[in-house]
Amino acid sequence: MSQSVVWRASVLHFLEDPAKQQGSEDAWEFFEDGALLVEDGLITRCGPSDQVFKNLPAGTEIKDLTGRFLIPGFIDTHVHYPQLEVLAGCGVQLLDWLNQYTFPAEQKFADEQYASEIAQFFLDQCLSHGTTTALVFGTVAPQSVDAFFQQAHQRNLRMIAGKVMMDRNAPDYLLDTPQSSYEDSKALINRWHNKGRLSYAVTPRFAPTSSSEQLHMAGRLLREHDGLYLHTHLSENPKEIDWVQELFPDSKHYVDVYDQHGLLGPRSVFAHSVHLCDHSWQRMGSSGSSIAFCPGSNLFLGSGLFNLNRAKAHGIPTGLGTDVGGGTNLCLLNTMKDAYQVSQLREETISPLQAFYLATLGGARALHLDDKIGSFRTGNEADFLVLNPAATPMLQFRTEKTKTLEELLGVLMVMGDDRVIEKTIIMGQEA
């Protein structure tokens, strides 16, 4: 039997990047008294409530949430679920941070029971923070990815994940080999890729921890299966970049290392990309690769200030990533605030509308999922959020005084956190 529910509230979603259409309101739709009709988990109508309510299908359930906001679910384009327990590890930059905090924590995920417990907690926290889709690192242990996908599948979430490939420059207990990483990844692809709403990402950690032979294996996996993602790190920290040049002396630059191994292209997502030369930017753009902009992590680890305008100039699809545990929380509202602060330091200030675009449709485009999620386009999957702009006394005090949509979004982005997320809806169902 078909299920039909209409949600009435203020409704906001994006059709385009507001940065491309400054001064125009064509990039988004906002219905102050709006409504969404969801039938069998899909969006079938979005508009002013008087229009959406006309000729509703018989038996439609009505949910009146006047005073609340409906927006598409947040998309986290780069996060490590096994790093939840090293959140807020202070005192070091990237390479020491990996050795001191991250690698010891990732060792525990060889135990599938442990991995399963953390995956459950991670997904609970994603949902309570309003994240409905994420591109997720596992660890080198394939069971870490089995555990994650198992939990995501049970909840019917649209998630992308993969096993870390890492055959050098890390503790022995975390190393695989080119052959074992190929075979383990292939088995995971066969078990999980395109199962329900899940997709697989080939996941070499970053160039320093993979031999050339292993990066070739990653390229081979991409060629052998349709629709896979490539997910890795790129040009996060100056010492890391120098190290890559030492390890791959024949490469022109960091991007070229991945390029030589066939790893660039649409559905390839590179986290950070903070320090890129002109040729790297061009190659990222011409190859159709995507970037996960992780401002919270870049600030916390002192990595640098990402150049969002440059990415836009080269037409590179860019989403936001929390990069937990380099980032300090799973909150995309907070990540928008960090992105805003990075843009301020660069004197290239982004608007709150642009920040909300990045966290929703921008992320969907970076993951090539905008035909399924990221907006309230007819036919999209009904993953969305109910936001309460008066979730705390301070927020109520401040949001009541806002006069425009943009001002309200600014307050939510700067002052809001997971308390603003009143409900998270997955395929039309409350999670």
- Residue 281's SS3 state is helix
For residues 306 and 167, what is the distance between their CA atoms, to the nearest angstrom? 29
Please, what is the minimum distance in Å from the beta carbon of residue 126 to Zn ion? Answer: 16
Please, what is the minimum distance in Å from the beta carbon of residue 420 to Zn ion? Answer: 25
- What backbone phi and psi angles, to 5 degrees, belong to 389? -70, -5
Q: Which tokens go with 399?
A: 């949001």
Nearer to Zn ion, 6 or 241 (CB): 241
Residue span binding Zn ion (CB under 5 A) among the ranges 168-176, 186-194, 195-203, 322-330: 322-330
CB-based contact 151:192 (threshold 8 Å)? no
Restricting to residues 236-295, name those near Zn ion by CB under 5 A: 271
Please, what is the minimum distance in Å from the beta carbon of residue 296 to Zn ion? Answer: 11
Residue span binding Zn ion (CB under 5 A) among the ranges 159-167, 201-209, 321-329, 422-430: 321-329
Q: Which tokens go with 361?
A: 């449709």
Nearer to Zn ion, 169 or 354 (CB): 169
Could you tell me how many residues of this chain bind Zn ion (CB under 5 A)? 2
Q: Which residue is nearest to Zn ion (CB)?
A: 323
Restricting to residues 364-383, name those near Zn ion by CB under 5 A: none
| H and E: helices and strands count for the chain | 17, 16
Nearer to Zn ion, 271 or 353 (CB): 271
- Residue 109's SS3 state is helix
Q: Which letter does DSSP use for residue 70 in this model?
A: E
Nearer to Zn ion, 326 or 352 (CB): 326
Residue span binding Zn ion (CB under 5 A) among the ranges 31-39, 254-262, 307-315, 317-325: 317-325
Nearer to Zn ion, 215 or 271 (CB): 271
CB-based contact 66:19 (threshold 8 Å)? no
Please, what is the minimum distance in Å from the beta carbon of residue 84 to Zn ion? Answer: 13
Strand partners, 62: 6
CB-based contact 62:44 (threshold 8 Å)? no
- What backbone phi and psi angles, to 5 degrees, belong to 147? -60, -45
Please, what is the minimum distance in Å from the beta carbon of residue 77 to Zn ion? Answer: 11
DSSP sequence for 342-354: HHHHTT-PPPHHH
Nearer to Zn ion, 323 or 370 (CB): 323
Residue type at 361?
L
Nearest to 327 by CA among 338, 319, 318: 338
Please, what is the minimum distance in Å from the beta carbon of residue 278 to Zn ion? Answer: 25
Residue span binding Zn ion (CB under 5 A) among the ranges 9-17, 47-55, 218-226, 319-327: 319-327
Any contact of residue 323 with Zn ion (CB under 5 A)? yes
Please, what is the minimum distance in Å from the beta carbon of residue 70 to Zn ion? Answer: 31
Restricting to residues 123-152, name those near Zn ion by CB under 5 A: none
User: What are the Cα distances from residue 218, in Å, to 185, 189, 229?
Assistant: 9, 12, 11
Nearer to Zn ion, 95 or 411 (CB): 95
For residues 213 and 324, what is the distance between their CA atoms, to the nearest angstrom? 29
Nearer to Zn ion, 269 or 425 (CB): 269
Please, what is the minimum distance in Å from the beta carbon of residue 206 to Zn ion? Answer: 8
For residues 275 and 277, what is the distance between their CA atoms, to the nearest angstrom? 7
Residues that bind Zn ion (CB under 5 A): 271, 323
